[in-house]
């Protein structure tokens, strides 16, 4: 899987137009770009309906652009078209295991990224996942430097216990904290510096396999929030 992930970084609001940057890399540092054909974005509006944002590309990022027609929470989510990574005696390859000999590992990789934009002054308590098989839900919209971010991890709509959560600071460009969810899926992460933080979860499910193609599915999801 190369130690790389996607995240929704810089978010800009100009009037009723929002722009959110989709970035691929490691530890909140860009490293290459994505094939736009793999990007499937969705924005959830405050009333629960959805819209498809426009996509434009720069050297190391893609911009999602959409309209925010009223106050409330707008949740931008990107799903990537999955890939299959197979390992044999010669290394890692992109493709199903039936294409190779002496396979030691083969897994599908499903990546997702999420960011919530607040328009106006909504202060709801966020409780439920709205999209995706693996999703991180913050207890509330904003956190401050020096406090703990409280987040909850869901898998297939249910709280996911005893799963590892990593926290990366964009300012520091490195892993800042690592913890596990409790029995109800909650985790607390100390926000020691200001700026954007990425929370990341990897969950492997060996029950989701296709015998001739791959042996497990790896779900990777990220949530970016700002510590002010």
pLDDT of 121 reads: 74
**Whose structure tokens read 């800042």?**
176
Tally of domains in the chain: 1
pLDDT of 69 reads: 85
pLDDT of 140 reads: 87
DSSP string, 80-124: EPPEEEEEETTEEEES-GGGSSS--EEEEEEEEEEEEEEESS--P
Residues of the chain with pLDDT under 70: 1-3, 122-125
Domain hosting 209: range is 5-227
CB atoms within 10 A of CB 191: 22
CA dist 22 → 57, 63, 64, 95 (Å): 9, 6, 7, 25
pLDDT of 1 reads: 44
pTM metric for this prediction:
0.94
pLDDT of 119 reads: 87
């Amino acid at each position: 899987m190369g130690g790389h992930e996607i995240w929704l970084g810089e978010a800009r609001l100009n009037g009723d137009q929002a722009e959110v940057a989709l970035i691929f890399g490691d530890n909140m540092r860009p490293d290459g770009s994505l094939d736009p054909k793999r990007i499937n974005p969705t924005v959830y509006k405050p009333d629960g309906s959805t819209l498809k944002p426009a996509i434009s590309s720069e050297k190391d990022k893609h911009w999602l652009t959409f309209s925010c027609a009223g106050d409330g929470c707008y949740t931008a989510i990107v799903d990537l078209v999955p890939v299959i990574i197979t390992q044999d005696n010669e290394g890692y390859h992109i493709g199903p295991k039936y294409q190779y000999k002496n396979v030691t590992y083969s897994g599908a990789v499903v990546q997702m990224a999420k960011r919530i934009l607040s328009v106006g002054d909504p202060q709801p308590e966020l409780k439920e996942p709205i999209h995706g098989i693996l999703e991180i839900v913050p207890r509330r919209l904003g956190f401050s430097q020096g406090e703990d971010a409280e987040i909850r991890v869901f898998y297939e709509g249910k709280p996911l216990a005893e799963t590892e959560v990593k926290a990366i600071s964009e300012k520091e460009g490195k892993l800042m904290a690592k913890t596990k969810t409790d029995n109800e899926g909650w985790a607390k992460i100390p926000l020691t510096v200001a700026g954007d933080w990425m929370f990341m979860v990897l969950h492997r499910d060996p029950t989701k396999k296709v015998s001739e193609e791959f042996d497990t599915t790896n779900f990777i999801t990220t949530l970016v929030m700002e510590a002010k």
